[in-house]
Amino acid sequence: MYLGGVLFFLSGLIVVPQAVHAGQPPQQTPSSAAASSQGKPVAAPADASSSSTDLESATCQSCHDDITTSFEKSPHWKTMNDTRGGHAKQGCEACHGAGAEHADDPSKPLFDFKTAKPEAITERCLSCHNSGTEHMSASNSFHRQNDVTCTSCHSMHHATTREHMLVKAEPALCYSCHLQQQAQFNMPFRHRVNEGLVTCTDCHNQHGTGGVLEGDHLIRQVRTSASGDVVCFKCHTDKQGPFVFEHAATRIEGCGSCHISHGGANAHMLKYSNVNLMCLQCHTNSPGIHATVMDANQSHYEQACVNCHVKIHGSNFNGLLDR
């Protein structure tokens, strides 16, 4: 029995080396097997996407160093980390299109915002900026109807303002087209736009609203309402009401029926220097005691409508708006 136990022990020592020598490797854990199946570690998808965008940026920078440098300082740089739309929505290619062929042969063009048609530029920008209250009416705006594109006001690579990537700051940017309004803001009685207390975009949505042409005055792209009154009430809250007895002109035609919204030569930015002439635009058939008001030969006191009708924007006590 002793001799048999020794032989069994020696046979075990011989069998184990033979099993290994036969080419049967020891068992591996699933993770180590996956890592070594291709002879190298498997990279995570996020790392692959990051390296792809980094490679694109480096490729573009090799020729367009000044543009890529400014791009890295702009709000559009955050698209480099946005993987929701895939690589086509990231970095340079998000705006200029696929650039592989252009990188191989620079003569093959990309989307060039300098030479593209206005409709194409607007469509390309709206592919991302097509939601929210600021841009939802851009396709029907007065600016678009007059071939004013996004790049007419915004510069993606050479903006001069810290906000909104504008070509130049307000109001100089707006004055480059709206020369009539620039003259109105230089009038003695005006909204303080040149002084910086009010900006054009405080009242107007430059990307488009439901503004319309009303009578002899324009309500173009005014914020908050088609008629434009509500935007005035943002500051002139005492004129808003509601009133028990409303002034029909204010209710029907709005503030623009009497006032020049940007500025004018008359006090309170009225259309006429004489308040009575303003009233007589509508009140031309005033009977009885108002006959003297119609007579230009009467004294100024007798013609002063607002001496009696002091609540011309509306009253809660009297239909004649005199208290």
At 243-257, the pLDDT tens digits run: 999 998 887 778 888
Distance CA 258, CA 269 (A): 8
CB 170 within 8 A of CB 199: yes
CB 207 within 8 A of CB 215: no
> What pLDDT sits at residue 225?
64
pLDDT confidence tier of residue 295, bands split at 50, 70 and 90: low
Is the pLDDT confidence value at 275 over 60? Answer: yes
> What pLDDT sits at residue 213?
55
Q: What is the DSSP letter of 25?
A: P
pLDDT confidence tier of residue 174, bands split at 50, 70 and 90: very high
> What pLDDT sits at residue 182?
96
> What pLDDT sits at residue 171?
95
CB atoms inside a 10 Å sphere around CB 184: 20
> What pLDDT sits at residue 286?
56
Q: Return the minimum-mean-pLDDT range out of 35-39, 73-77, 79-83, 271-275.
A: 35-39
> What pLDDT sits at residue 28?
45
Distance CA 86, CA 73 (A): 22
> What pLDDT sits at residue 227?
62
Distance CA 296, CA 82 (A): 72
This prediction has a pTM of: 0.71
State the residue for tokens 């509601």: 242
Q: What is the DSSP letter of 141?
A: S
CA 12 to chain centre: 81
Q: What is the DSSP letter of 210?
A: S
Of 76, 66, 158, the residue nearest 114 (C-alpha): 158
pLDDT confidence tier of residue 282, bands split at 50, 70 and 90: confident
Residues 6+ apart with CB under 8 A from 205: 133, 134, 137, 221, 222, 223
